[in-house]
Amino acid sequence: MRVKMILPALTEAVSPLFRPIKYSLFPPLGLATLAAYLDDSDEIDLQDEHVEKLRLDDQPELVVIQVYITSARRAYELADHYRARGAYVCLGGLHVTSLPEEAATHADTIFTGPGEDSWPIFLADYRAGQPQTRYNAPSRRTIVGIPPIRRDLIKRHLYMVPNSIVVSRGCPYHCDFCYKEAFFEGGNSFYTQRVDEALAEIDRLPGKHLYFLDDHLLGDPKFAAALFEGMRGMGRVFQGAATVNSLLAPGLLEKARDAGLRSIFVGFENLDQANLRHSSKTQNLGRDYDAMIRRVHAEGVMLNGSFVFGMDGDGPDVFARTVDWAVEQSIETATFHIMTPYPSTALHQRMAAEGRLLHQDWDLYDTRHTVFQPKGMTPAQLEEGYWRAYRNFYRWSFILRGASHKETPVQAVRHVAYAAGWKKFEGLWNALIRLKQVSYALPILERVLLGTDSVDSHRATPAACPKPAPPLEWEETLSLATLASQPTAQELQR
């Protein structure tokens, strides 16, 4: 069977909002996960429109498209194109789950929720010539025993972070603005892989760097502790996301650090307790943000702080107040969002009930546009404040002020390298991307993440885990850059 799998672009490469480096970070993990359920005899063409021009003059039999809200219009265009060419089109993902009726008008079959349970059922029905028009994820979902992700279909050289991985699905919390509640509706909404299978997946990944894309990597402390135990001595350096309270919990952060954690994405969201309560961000209520930040930095782990502007208690001063706080806390990088009422979330229902939704132009539901009527300011003030927050936080003077709060000069240099590397070298990243050499940026990222640590300086107790062979002298002297960018024997075989 000829199968075409497409991740349409979230924001078109022609848009001024398109930051090539941001859209050349992660490969389409979701589609590569689904591809593992196809037969070895199937011819699979996996294309990611963020990093390559789509080939649309082909004749696939089955077309599989992942739909997010800001790629919905494009996804429907592609679906209509292929249906007109006689292909059987399947649509799934977050936006399809939010608005199945809308998607169904462009598809032969739609899927709601996670795909690992429903997709293989569909494939059996399809091969038997009896596909349904809709498959909902069953109430009992699991990723135990899932087939290895088809990473061979991913064009690794086109991504800065080819080793993205997820070892769980969902999150144990219920924030009203998050996609999770609606996406996992009707069944279990937080579940993990088995530790040994997760470790086996990690083992299959070449190089050192990993990026866990889990919504909450520390969501199941027992699983996380066992995973980090198993990773010790693997010589990995990784990044992930977790909640404030999980990072305050004794013991787990240290295990993560020993396993190679060097930067963590944290949803601080807002500094106002009433706003957090109103958004059901219960896991942050009454938590000492400052203490958590000191604790994480003391472990040599950098922070990417995520913030949401436009909550009902926010006035025009929220932008400067949040940026100043983040800089004074020496938070290395920040991701700001304009609160976005995604369809089918509790926030959307509240905004709709209060008649505060401005429109349904899904392209603008990208957290950079105001799509609802804020309480404490005008929509224009919210957008202007959002851009000002980004501009200021990544001003050299702000980056240097943030770094000046670090304990040691080495930590300060690392802070500057990480923050500036992400926002101040667009020209360099764009050139590397145009030359299809963005993977050369990865060793620089690894070096910055590790700071003065060498990969093997993780505090692994010799007894606990086999010590990998110390790097040969010449390897250590050679900058990690060349090492990591050398294709491994394995990669050469592909």
Please say which residue, 362 or 418, places its beta carbon nearer to ligand B12.
Answer: 362
**Range in contact with ligand B12 (rule: CB under 6 A) among 63-71, 297-305, 394-402, 485-493:** 63-71
Please say which residue, 83 or 405, places its beta carbon nearer to ligand B12.
Answer: 83
Please say which residue, 76 or 179, places its beta carbon nearer to ligand B12.
Answer: 179
Residue type, 374: P
Q: How far is the CB of 397 from ligand B12 (least distance, A)?
A: 24
Site for ligand B12 in 206-225 (CB under 6 A): 213, 215
- Residue among 8, 60, 115, 162 that touches ligand B12 (CB under 6 A): 115
Please say which residue, 46 or 480, places its beta carbon nearer to ligand B12.
Answer: 46
Neighbours of 378 (CB within 10 A): 12
Q: How far is the CB of 166 from ligand B12 (least distance, A)?
A: 4
- 319 is a contact residue toward ligand B12 (CB under 6 A): no
Binding characters for ligand B12, 75-114, by CB under 6 A (x = yes): ---------------xxxxx----------------x--x
- Residue among 2, 12, 20, 25 that touches ligand B12 (CB under 6 A): 25
Please return the burial class of 494, using the count of CB atoms within 10 Å of its CB with bins 0-12, 13-18 and 19+.
exposed
Question: Own/partner pairs for 315-324, CB < 8 Å, 24+ apart?
Answer: 315/376, 315/377, 316/376, 316/377, 316/381, 316/385, 318/270, 318/376, 318/385, 319/385, 319/386, 319/388, 319/389, 320/388, 320/389, 320/392, 321/271, 322/270, 322/271, 322/389, 323/389, 323/392, 323/393, 323/398
**Range in contact with ligand B12 (rule: CB under 6 A) among 61-69, 186-194, 230-238, 453-461:** 61-69
Q: How far is the CB of 339 from ligand B12 (least distance, A)?
A: 11
Please say which residue, 276 or 403, places its beta carbon nearer to ligand B12.
Answer: 276
SS3 239: strand
Q: How far is the CB of 118 from ligand B12 (least distance, A)?
A: 6
Q: How far is the CB of 180 from ligand B12 (least distance, A)?
A: 7
From 393, 442, 437, select the one nearest 419 (Cα to Cα). 393
- The DSSP secondary structure of 389-429, one letter per residue, reads HHHHHTSHHHHHHHHTTSSSHHHHHHHHHHHHHHHS-HHHH
Site for ligand B12 in 167-186 (CB under 6 A): 178-179
Please say which residue, 216 or 232, places its beta carbon nearer to ligand B12.
Answer: 216
Residues 6+ apart with CB under 8 A from 321: 271
Site for ligand B12 in 261-290 (CB under 6 A): none
Q: How far is the CB of 171 from ligand B12 (least distance, A)?
A: 8
Residues 6+ apart with CB under 8 A from 348: 341, 342, 357
Please say which residue, 201 or 366, places its beta carbon nearer to ligand B12.
Answer: 366
- Residue among 246, 367, 411, 439 that touches ligand B12 (CB under 6 A): 367
Report the C-alpha dihedral over residues 374, 376, 382, 385, rounded to 10 degrees: -160
- 134 is a contact residue toward ligand B12 (CB under 6 A): no
Give yes or no for a contact between 158 and 110, defined as CB atoms under 8 angstroms apart: no
Q: How far is the CB of 33 from ligand B12 (least distance, A)?
A: 5
Q: What are phi and psi of 458, to 5 degrees?
A: -60, 145
Q: In which element (H, E) is residue 247 found?
A: helix 244-248
SS3 content of the chain, % helix, strand, coil (to 5): 45, 15, 45
Q: Which residue has the tokens 């930590």?
A: 411
Please say which residue, 64 or 244, places its beta carbon nearer to ligand B12.
Answer: 64
Please say which residue, 195 or 334, places its beta carbon nearer to ligand B12.
Answer: 334
Residues that bind ligand B12 in the complex, under the rule CB under 6 A? 7, 10-11, 22-23, 25-26, 28-30, 33-34, 64, 66, 68-70, 90-94, 111, 114-116, 119, 166, 178-179, 213, 215, 335, 337, 342, 366-367
